[in-house]
Structure 1
Amino acid sequence: MTNRIKLLFSFLAIGISLCTFGQILQPVEWDSKIEKVSETEYDVILKASIDKGWYIYSQKSSGGFAPTTIFEFKNKEGNYETVGETIEPIVPPKYDKIFEEDVIKFDVLVEFKQRVKLLNPDLNLIEVYVEYQTCNDEKCIPGDYTFNVTLDGSEIQIEEATVDQRSQQLSAELDLNIKGWDKYKAQTVEEQSDFSIFILGFLGGLIALLTPCVFPMIPLTVSFFTKSSGDSKKGMFNSILYGVFIFLIYALLSIPFHLLDSLDPGILNNISTNVTLNIIFFIIFIGFAFSFFGYYELTLPQSWSAAMDSKANRIGGFIGIFFMALTLAIVSFSCTGPILGTLLGSSLTADGGARQLTMGMSGFGLALALPFTLFAMFPKWLNSLPKSGGWLNTVKVVLGFIELGLALKFLSNADLVEHWGLLKREVFIGLWILIALGLVLYLFGKIKFPHDGPIAKLSKIRITTAILCLAFAIYLIPGLTNTKYANLKLLSGFPPPLFYSLYDKTSECPLDLNCYKDLEVGLAQAKQQDKPILLDFTGWACVNCRKMEEQVWSTSDVYEILSEDYVIISLYVDDKKKLPKDKQFQYLRQNGTVKAIETVGDKWATLQTINFQNNSQPYYVLLNHDLELLNTTNAYEPDADAFYDWLKIGLDNFNE
């Protein structure tokens, strides 16, 4: 197993730590130097300076889940060759709290040395790429760096990105020079527990097990492993290994999204609010729904599964079992694909992004893998499995109705960001009611789809599910009204916000509170009213923002203190409204790249990153008129009492 693959596996173990990607952290700085050994040999020395409390890891695997540091010497034209291995300091293993094992890791300062031998005497530049992870006792951050090392010690002239004087001036205006960081250290509250995301993915996997593409495979596969080997213990081991490979295949599918996230921490937020992508997801989910209804099947090319099956039979052993697991993933795509698409789309349009996707995919893979392992361990259980039949198609159709409801969420995201007014809150809820009632009619046999057979008798499960769907439709009905009961707290974040309504509202702010969507106007009002400021970084497509507003802000104590004692400035980081031409500019990031500030959302997202080193939403800051912090910053806090206490401390500090 190569180090690069080991690094990919390590991402699975640290999915929970990736919640800090919202913060812009760079705990490691790299430098390089060259030492001449002879006319043809040089030592390339790569030095890492590491912030206090952080570590990077050895190139050598500990045998557990801890990551390794990987150096890649770019030498496509064969101008030199490396001599021996890259040398690192010899240090004893230390216990690591993140990975709960003894590992070799380095802190403060570490040097890696690689000797190279020239094959081309005219060579002067050596390019080295390093992949690494830096961790403290609470979290890990992946990183990479490219060295351009000259053998004669000269500096490489790299053209630096520049912006004009006007852009520099407008960029400077985004720096608010927030005061009080020495007194109040920023805190980040986890938006949603990774365990809950894992459980949702696990439930999705359990649902996938009950589809016609997967369920019949369980007894066939388990019987194959337990009987073909002739050795019950070996058959059990192979079946368990088969389940492990299924889990890894699905978990590893999320890795590319972590790489996107590490390149630009805001990229997944941009994906989640991108109008085009949300519309594409809407169309795809509609396609998934009609596939589940039985009008057609979505399958991967048959040649893929045939090729995988052929390799599994030809190779055998561990690798053969892996290809068998991959074959299952491919042939079951028509049933698992829509569920995976739901997981992918929901994760990318949520605030946890890649982290949530890893946890969800891991849960999905575990649920799919468990039966193959458990039934191999306890083969008598196979006799208790229900027989395949029409009920499997019923499961698919029910999932089709669910896909329709989820499709509307993506269309709603695009509608909110662009302010089209197509799916106001009441329209959205009304469509969900129709979908729920359609599912009720189907379960009672009043609606048929292509693969449905005659229903001799309604089963208890079918009747119970229909009653639950009817109850859900009834629960939604108050959402169509203009009353206090319209706040459907159990669904906060899924329908459009309360103020995005067909009814006339006193303001376009959450819960009819007074708020300002421009920073300068809000600051002026705060000074005039002599009130502290709640700076609310939010988003039109932000699920957790809606949960905070409709479940926490709506409680009596929080609502009262917000309405009477604070000036709310809500800055929507995904607002696609174009800035006036004279207000558009180029922002030069610290990493040397340039970001075009063209929309209102671009401006507020960049302002948040510059001043608070954070780009996740919701994100709350309490300030006085002089832009001094009144309390620690806050994020997703579902405990209304805790959020009220936080606001109260800020108010008391303002009054003092």
Structure 2
Amino acid sequence: MKKLLLLFLCSFYAFAIEQSFLEPEEAFKTSFEKKEDKLVFNLKLGKDIYLYDDKLKFFISKPQKIDIREDLIIPKAKAYEVWQIHTHDLNIEIPYDLLKQRANSDKVEVQIDFQGCSKKGLCYAPMSKTASVDLSSLETVKDNIQKIEKSAVALDNGAENQNETDIIASSLKEGNVLLVLATFFGFGLLLSLTPCVFPMIPILSSIIVKAGDSGKLTASKGFFLSLVYVLSMAVAYTIAGVLAGLFGANLQVALQNPYVLVAFAAIFIALAFSMFGYFKLELPQSLQNRINKTTDGREKQGVVGIAIMGFLSALIVGPCVAPPLAGALVYIGQTGDALLGGAALFVMSLGMGAPLLLIGLGAGKYMPKPGGWMDSITKIFGIIMLGVAIWMLDRVLDPTVIMYLWALLLIATAIYLKVYTHILVKLITTVIMIYGVLLFVGAVSQATNPLNPLEKFTSAKTGVMISEELNWNLVTSNKEIDAAVNASNKPVMLDFQASWCVACKELEEITFKDPRVIEKLKGFTLLRADVTKNSDEDKLMQKRFGVVGPPALIFWDKNSNEIKASQIVGYKNPEQFLEIVNKHF
């Protein structure tokens, strides 16, 4: 009898315990919510239920299986015994833009896998939930809502919550077409004063000098040659910009790899030696014969060569990102209007090339007649072409090696100019020689800035220590960005940069070395994403923040909220940088 009673009590106790566990549907209540621009996965945990972080997985299951967890913002897990777990309800946002980009399809199925346990001692079997999304039907709704929201923001806040890029993109949508195009031409004129356009000046000048070798170079001919160069440059910028806006494939960025840059630098070195008279660069004889069948064959050869050089120069020499360019690309990407966006990019490129037209006009008018002077000018432009080659290799080689190359070029230039006896030339020669020697000394001391070759010596004298430099934390994926932002108890600044980015070097050498900027950024957690290789992870990071190319600065407040109005695109000097940052921090 006692045995039967004991057996009954044990069975009753086991049954009671079993009944205290929640059913899987009660332990993990899930739902999908389709919003205007994202799919939200809601997971509500029952009492005493927790979720394993490593078992929480997000996929695109159709049309093909793609892991997207690293592209999403997942709440930080906490330690429990030897595992990382979630004990609170989850609301995970999956942007439609991400789904469309990764799946490359309008019909997408999303799958979420998860597994968890009860703290009472029961572990549930792995579970899976799916949702189908038709992105084609949601696209129009999303765009309309965004337009309404942006209009409301602009009316209520005077566009205070928009950054420069957003404001320019909005002006394209809502402004008068002729006024928009005139504005973008003005943007181009301003951009012509940036370092991105400077290398094109000696390239075009050397082309005109070469044309002057063959005979008369009138003002009209000089202007025509410049116009061919500028129009080819504008076409290249427009094509690259429209492709970047429509497909996210930035042709300029794709060409900024070491092999292309070294090859293009080699072309400039070859052009320089051609100007020194070692050989003559010409089209292949077979192609020359075809062109020369016409009466103006020689003219056509020159025009084709200039057009090719202008097209390639725009793609490889000066890939600078500035708010006007970024705004046009954002507009094209959001609206698909390649016509107006492309027209804006084209007139902006013409504005950038306007000073080049003046150079062609002036060179054609004031170029010395062929003879001894012309020969000397040609050789000087050969030296300048070598400088352009070094400027391009700066994106590939170690900075100290570049210092040596600049030193050798300047010393060699000074030695060459010694043959002239004019007092002004002698003075210039002496200055070039001294600066070349200073660059060589700087290179030996491991200096990296050609504009400050004695930085290692002056910093020791003035007491500027390495500790006063900014401390950057490198991030290589969206997951690492989220982890760093969530772990910080300070505002966060993320810097997108690349070794081939000219404006990035300006930010680094001027803005980020300003004492006022350093003092301000001491209160920030500083992150840096190096997108030099333009890898898939690099593209995903840029896509997430709407960055069309470096430099770009993204900000979060100390509560990990992104402050979109403070986003900075392109180079800003210390005063402009502090003005933007001080508005929000």
Q: Normalised by the size of structure 1, how large is the TM-score?
A: 0.50
Distance in 2 (alpha carbons) for counterparts of 1:269 and 1:245:
26
Alpha carbons of structure 1 residues 402 and 515: separation in structure 2 relative to 1, 3 Å: same
1:567 to 514, 525, 536: 525
Distance in 1 (alpha carbons) for counterparts of 2:505 and 2:284:
41
Aligned twin of 1:391: 373
Structure 1 residue 615 displacement after superposition: 1.0
Structure 1 residue 338 displacement after superposition: 11
1:200-227 CA-to-partner distances (Å, cap 9, x unmatched) read 645654454444x4155336xx5xxxxx
Distance in 1 (alpha carbons) for counterparts of 2:437 and 2:530:
33
Compare 403-412 and 433-442 and name the one that shifted more: 403-412
Q: Normalised by the size of structure 2, how large is the TM-score?
A: 0.55
Structure 1 residue 642 displacement after superposition: 2.2
1:207-218 correspondence runs (5 A): 207-211=206-210, 213-215=211-213, 217-218=215-216
Aligned twin of 1:264: 244
Structure 1 residue 553 displacement after superposition: 1.0
1:466 to 405, 429, 432: 429
Q: Is the 8 A contact 1:191 1:544 kept in 2?
A: no
1:250 to 203, 223, 229: 229
Aligned twin of 2:572: 638
**Percent sequence identity over matched residues?**
18
Distance in 1 (alpha carbons) for counterparts of 2:353 and 2:525:
41
Aligned twin of 1:28: none
Aligned twin of 2:178: none
Does residue 195 in structure 1 map to residue 192 in structure 2? yes
Structure 1 residue 328 displacement after superposition: 5.1
Distance in 1 (alpha carbons) for counterparts of 2:284 and 2:479:
56
Q: Is the 8 A contact 1:489 1:550 kept in 2?
A: no
Aligned twin of 2:162: 185
Unaligned runs of 5+ in 2: 1-60, 75-92, 98-148, 154-159, 169-186, 326-344, 454-464
Q: Is the 8 A contact 2:189 2:351 kept in 1?
A: no
1:359-374 correspondence runs (5 A): 363-370=355-362
Q: Is the 8 A contact 1:605 1:615 kept in 2?
A: no
Alpha carbons of structure 1 residues 282 and 635: separation in structure 2 relative to 1, 3 Å: same
Q: Is the 8 A contact 1:511 1:550 kept in 2?
A: no
Letter in 2 for 1:218: K
- Work out which of the two has the higher radius of gyration on C-alpha atoms and give 1 or 2: 2
Q: Is the 8 A contact 1:630 1:650 kept in 2?
A: no
Aligned twin of 1:66: none
1:427 to 377, 401, 406: 401
Does residue 282 in structure 1 map to residue 229 in structure 2? no
Give the SS at the match of 1:569: strand
Q: Is the 8 A contact 1:552 1:640 kept in 2?
A: yes
1:462-515 CA-to-partner distances (Å, cap 9, x unmatched) read 4344234224425535643769x8655579xxxxxxxxxxxxx979xx945233
Structure 1 residue 366 displacement after superposition: 4.7
Distance in 1 (alpha carbons) for counterparts of 2:398 and 2:569:
27
Give the SS at the match of 1:535: strand
Aligned twin of 1:8: none
Q: Name the structure where helix makes up a greater proportion of residues.
A: 2
Aligned twin of 1:440: 414
Alpha carbons of structure 1 residues 516 and 307: separation in structure 2 relative to 1, 3 Å: closer
Does residue 541 in structure 1 map to residue 500 in structure 2? yes
Aligned twin of 1:165: 65
Q: Is the 8 A contact 2:229 2:307 kept in 1?
A: no
Aligned twin of 2:135: none
Letter in 1 for 2:582: K
Aligned twin of 2:556: 623
Distance in 2 (alpha carbons) for counterparts of 1:298 and 1:243:
20
Distance in 2 (alpha carbons) for counterparts of 1:390 and 1:615:
49
Structure 1 residue 192 displacement after superposition: 9.0
Q: Is the 8 A contact 2:495 2:553 kept in 1?
A: yes
Letter in 2 for 1:615: V
Distance in 2 (alpha carbons) for counterparts of 1:260 and 1:430:
34
Structure 1 residue 516 displacement after superposition: 3.1
Aligned twin of 2:156: none
Distance in 2 (alpha carbons) for counterparts of 1:340 and 1:294:
23
1:310-369 CA-to-partner distances (Å, cap 9, x unmatched) read 6457xxxxxxxxx88546536xx6xx7998699446535544798787556554455334
Structure 1 residue 391 displacement after superposition: 3.1
Alpha carbons of structure 1 residues 324 and 408: separation in structure 2 relative to 1, 3 Å: closer
Alpha carbons of structure 1 residues 489 and 648: separation in structure 2 relative to 1, 3 Å: farther
Give the SS at the match of 1:368: helix
Q: Is the 8 A contact 1:285 1:403 kept in 2?
A: yes
1:223-242 CA-to-partner distances (Å, cap 9, x unmatched) read xxxxxxxxxxxxxxxx85x5
Q: Is the 8 A contact 1:205 1:363 kept in 2?
A: no
Structure 1 residue 620 displacement after superposition: 0.9
Give the SS at the match of 2:495: strand
1:380-437 CA-to-partner distances (Å, cap 9, x unmatched) read xxxxx744323323333333333333323444424xxxxxxxx322222022101111
2:282 to 280, 292, 299: 299
Aligned residues: 387
1:151-203 CA-to-partner distances (Å, cap 9, x unmatched) read xxxxxxxxxx965333444554698989x996621223979933326676456
Alpha carbons of structure 1 residues 517 and 172: separation in structure 2 relative to 1, 3 Å: closer
1:133-148 correspondence runs (5 A): none
Distance in 2 (alpha carbons) for counterparts of 1:271 and 1:186:
26
RMSD (CA atoms): 4.4
Unaligned runs of 5+ in 1: 1-160, 223-238, 314-322, 376-384, 415-422, 446-456, 492-504, 577-598, 652-656
Structure 1 residue 648 displacement after superposition: 2.8
Aligned twin of 1:29: none
Structure 1 residue 551 displacement after superposition: 0.4
Structure 1 residue 258 displacement after superposition: 2.1
1:333-412 correspondence runs (5 A): 343-344=313-314, 347-351=317-321, 363-370=355-362, 386-412=368-394
Q: Is the 8 A contact 1:201 1:362 kept in 2?
A: no
Structure 1 residue 257 displacement after superposition: 4.6
Letter in 2 for 1:554: K
Letter in 2 for 1:196: L
Aligned twin of 1:591: none
